[in-house]
Structure 1
Amino acid sequence: MSRFVSNTFKKLISYKEYDLWTKIVNLRKRIKSPLALSFGSLGWKNGTEWLIENYVPSRSVGFIFGDSQDLKSFLVAQWAFNLATGEPFGDLRVNKGPVVIICAEGSNSFPKRIKAIENKYNTNVEDKIITINRPIAMLIQQEVEMLHDLLDELKNTFGESPKLLVIDTFSQCSAGIDENNAGDIARYINTCKEISEKHSITVLNIHHKNKEGKYRGSTALYGNVDFIMETKREKQNSSDAEEKISTKLSLTKSKDSSTNVSHMLDFSEKSLGIEDNFGNILTTLVLDKVTSVQKTANSSNNCAKDFIVSFLRDSDKEYVDQSDLNDAFKSKMPRLGIGTVKKNISFSCRELINEGKILEKKSGRNKAYSLTAL
């Protein structure tokens, strides 16, 4: 057995690593603990396993944010189809498997969206997309146990665990918690992580942005999850504006990969071939095109972010006005025009807010910033 294991691992790890692996296997036998333990750097070569290439890792917990018209749910319907059938998402590969959707805001539209996608690809998802047609209260034990039982039953039925659990939406399934309370958010995310770990499933929460264009809730949300994406509806200036509806998908946080990932998604309205009770043709949106958008690193923006954090840390004020940041950064970068300075400071502040590193306070048109107390 030892010889077989050694030969199998020979191409993957060095003999020194194999000796460490053997030592740790024996150590685990002696240490009796229900906790998941790791030792040293063993396993460092394990790469990220993707559910949706470059965006959604397997066996993880994350969020996708967007305004109400940013097409989040249409995108998630497309991803459910891709996973259920194995159809690539544009030029990105997927890890085929069943999908569970908690349609907490109503399920009437979801089957129509899936049917329109099936028509486009001439492929049926059969029984590989399962919808739960009511909210699941994720902090009530009885509700969570029902979800555990369902996932176990689906594994027994399909012979594999579902790959993705979508919670649509976070607010509907987090009833009774304070979104701005770090403790409440941590308990919610811990519940998602327990589900993810027990069933080897990715849990994706759909959440709305606030009026400032940021995610709603405590900064604990940003810090405790594995990945975060956002959608942003694009304005149309072309002659086909009525035919094409676009949103930009961007990865804004990933624990194990680069966030230099962004795609433009073009949707169009498709007829379902049926009518409502007044004879109106029913339609829905279907994804037509996925185009990669290469995000470029802007050295002045990166410099501005570092400058802002340093300036706020050294300031004796609780909040620093954006105008003061502009003036100080202009002094540091005299070759930059004032317009560029203002743009870099504004953009960098927005990124730092999304990263949960600074807070914003508004007074009329004036903005001020402070470091986040983590």
Structure 2
Amino acid sequence: MNSFVSNAFKKLISSKEYSLWTKVLNLRKRINTPLALSFGSLGWKNGTEWLIENYVPCRSVGFIFGDSQDLKSFLVAQWAFNLATGKPFGDLQVNQGPVVIVCAEGSNSFPKRIKAIEDKHCINVEDKIVTVNRPIAMLIQREVEMLHNLLHELKSTLGESPKLLVIDTFSQCSAGIDENNAGDIAKYINTCKEISEQHNITVLNIHHKNKEGKYRGSTALYGNVDFIIETKREKRNSSDTEEKISTKLSLTKSKDSSTDVSHMLDFSEKSLGIEDNFGNTLTTLVLDEVTSVQKTAKNSNNYAKDFIVSFLKDSDKEYVEQSDLNDAFKSKMPKLNISTIKKNISFSCRELINEGKILEQKSGRNKAYTLATCDLPE
């Protein structure tokens, strides 16, 4: 079978489809054009290939945006480590390969972040993470040519092509363009797409939010990229009441997959074992836990109803206030934030009322509940 058909596709293609592929190959030989062509539905079985499962596709262009304290750069350092070593990101698989980071806002902190992650996992990334220690002006031809040359050199030197190129940040590498001009944004993204296509690499831009909590710039940014990821800092307490350093990761746009994916990321401060020139211990943040928000919410909704019935049965109060149920449920599910707790309890109470298992008593905005019968199962 012709090399035009990938090895993965060979396993799926039927004899009828093979004859069509043969016809297409003959057509391509006769049609003299540099343009990439497809015919009909051929190739429909080729699914999405993930760089980071459910979040970042291979050979694509996207953005991750958040406020300055939303831990975007710490997350990207973790992803770089996962890709370089092949270690899963929580319960999500990764497509192992080298990573290039354009540290346009200063590279001094990045090696420290990688070192702390290496120490936590006792794995060294060796030469699989490469940093460019200055901005790359993505709309200046000679700058882009240098980036192309670097990617070619890395493929030759490392023996494999880098899988991910991170632009940290978009604003630093888009000097001279108007973020609110659709034409300027389209030129920038087209440059990213050319890099992606020529080097089979994913280009991930780090960007900031505006005052309204949305990404800065023209709507052309949202319309022209393959995926957009958002980070949002959240306050959460652990079971010992110590405040966690947490951010919520959400996929908000994806051309080829569902956006119903979100994870809570918990970080902690780690000492680097070195001091600054004034004798102060240097620290950085390291990812401790990755929790699927959908999975947690679904499990807690199923668990909340049983919890409410059990709690009301064991209570010595005739009616238990909803705020008490919230507090008690929080102690059982410390990984959930208080907003999710309140929604779970409120939803579950309504279901139990509709099922005739509990009764509600209202006093203004306050709600309290009691068992509707003493014949509930043990």
Name the amino acid aligned to 1:189: I
1:157 aligns with 2:145: no
* Cα deviation 1:127-149 (Å, max 9, x = unaligned): 11000000000000000000000
Name the amino acid aligned to 1:67: D
TM-score for the superposition, normalised by structure 2? 0.75
Distance in 2 between residues matched to 1:9 and 1:106, nearest whole Å: 43
Post-superposition offset of 1:20: 1.1
Post-superposition offset of 1:85: 0.5
TM-score for the superposition, normalised by structure 1? 0.76
For 1:208, the equivalent position in structure 2 comes to 208
Post-superposition offset of 1:241: 6.2
Post-superposition offset of 1:242: 5.0
For 1:31, the equivalent position in structure 2 comes to 31
TM-align CA RMSD? 1.9
Q: Secondary structure at the match of 1:236?
A: strand
Q: Percent identity?
A: 88
Name the amino acid aligned to 1:21: W
Q: Structure 1 residues 248, 241: closer, same or farther in 2, change over 3 A?
A: farther
For 1:256, the equivalent position in structure 2 comes to 256
Q: Secondary structure at the match of 2:273?
A: strand
For 1:323, the equivalent position in structure 2 comes to none
Name the amino acid aligned to 1:172: Q
* Cα deviation 1:345-374 (Å, max 9, x = unaligned): xxxxxxxxxxxxxxxxxxxxxxxxxxxxxx
For 2:183, the equivalent position in structure 1 comes to 183
* Cα deviation 1:52-82 (Å, max 9, x = unaligned): 0010000000000100000000000000000
For 2:12, the equivalent position in structure 1 comes to 12
For 1:363, the equivalent position in structure 2 comes to none
Q: Whose Rg is larger?
A: 2
Name the amino acid aligned to 1:106: G
For 1:337, the equivalent position in structure 2 comes to none
Name the amino acid aligned to 2:151: L
* Cα deviation 1:234-280 (Å, max 9, x = unaligned): 02355756552000000000001110100000000000000000100
1:198 aligns with 2:206: no
* Cα deviation 1:290-321 (Å, max 9, x = unaligned): 00011889xxxxxxxxxxxxxxxxxxxxxxxx
Q: Structure 1 stretch 94-103 or stretch 240-249: which is displaced more? A: 240-249
For 2:225, the equivalent position in structure 1 comes to 225
Q: Structure 1 residues 10, 236: closer, same or farther in 2, change over 3 A?
A: closer
**Contact 2:9 2:46 (8 Å CA) reproduced:** no
1:310-329 map, 5 Å: none
**Contact 1:118 1:125 (8 Å CA) reproduced:** yes
Count of residues in Structure 1 that have an aligned counterpart in Structure 2: 294
1:265-280 map, 5 Å: 265-280=265-280
For 1:124, the equivalent position in structure 2 comes to 124
Distance in 1 between residues matched to 2:266 and 2:245, nearest whole Å: 6
For 2:281, the equivalent position in structure 1 comes to 281
Distance in 2 between residues matched to 1:196 and 1:121, nearest whole Å: 30
For 2:44, the equivalent position in structure 1 comes to 44
Distance in 1 between residues matched to 2:126 and 2:234, nearest whole Å: 33
Post-superposition offset of 1:33: 1.1
Q: Structure 1 residues 215, 155: closer, same or farther in 2, change over 3 A?
A: same
For 2:234, the equivalent position in structure 1 comes to 234
Q: Secondary structure at the match of 1:283?
A: strand
Q: Structure 1 stretch 240-249 or stretch 213-222: which is displaced more? A: 240-249
Q: Structure 1 residues 189, 25: closer, same or farther in 2, change over 3 A?
A: same
Q: Any unmatched runs of 5+ in structure 2?
A: 299-378
